[in-house]
């Protein structure tokens, strides 16, 4: 089955940040002034699929996030990862939304 994020990884298009294990790019349907996606460079379907073999990719993402938000001068931001269709996951490749540039409400929805 084809994965839009796996295809994007191959194209290396529009990346604003990259490590050996992850990449970051603008969301094509932004929900805030700054809306970035961070994904691992291997296919992991969701948070429910993180295990000992692939967890280093998630660690890499969490180590990259402070560098990414610093690059975009974000002092406050929201980090989101939807898991499963009822939570709003629309691409079955784990990804983290970094949202900033505006005030957010709680609960989110």
| Domains with residue ranges and CATH for the chain | 4-100 (3.30.428.10)
In eight-state DSSP terms, residue 49 is G
Listed residue (100, 95, 109) closest to 3, CA to CA = 95
pLDDT at 2: 86
pLDDT at 69: 98
pLDDT at 13: 76
Which residue in the list 35, 43, 93, 95 is annotated as catalytic?
95
Phi, psi of 100 (to 5 degrees): -160, 180
Confidence of residue 14 (pLDDT cuts 50, 70, 90): confident
Tens digit of each residue's pLDDT (9 = 90 or more) over 45-97:
999 999 999 999 999 999 999 999 999 999 999 999 999 999 999 999 999 99
Three-class DSSP category at 40: strand
Could you tell me the pTM of the whole model?
A: 0.94
- 95 catalytic? Reply is yes
Mean residue pLDDT of the chain comes to: 94
């Amino acid at each position: 089955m084809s994965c839009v994020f796996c295809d994007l990884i191959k194209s290396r298009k529009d990346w604003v940040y990259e490590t050996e294990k992850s990449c970051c790019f603008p969301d094509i349907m932004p929900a805030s002034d700054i809306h970035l996606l961070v994904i691992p460079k291997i296919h992991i379907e969701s948070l429910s699929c993180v295990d000992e073999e692939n967890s280093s990719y998630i660690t890499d993402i969490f180590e990259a996030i402070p560098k990414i938000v610093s690059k975009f001068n974000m002092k406050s931001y929201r980090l989101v990862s939807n898991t499963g269709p009822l939570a709003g996951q629309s691409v079955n490749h784990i990804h983290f939304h970094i949202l900033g540039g505006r005030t957010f409400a709680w609960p989110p929805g």
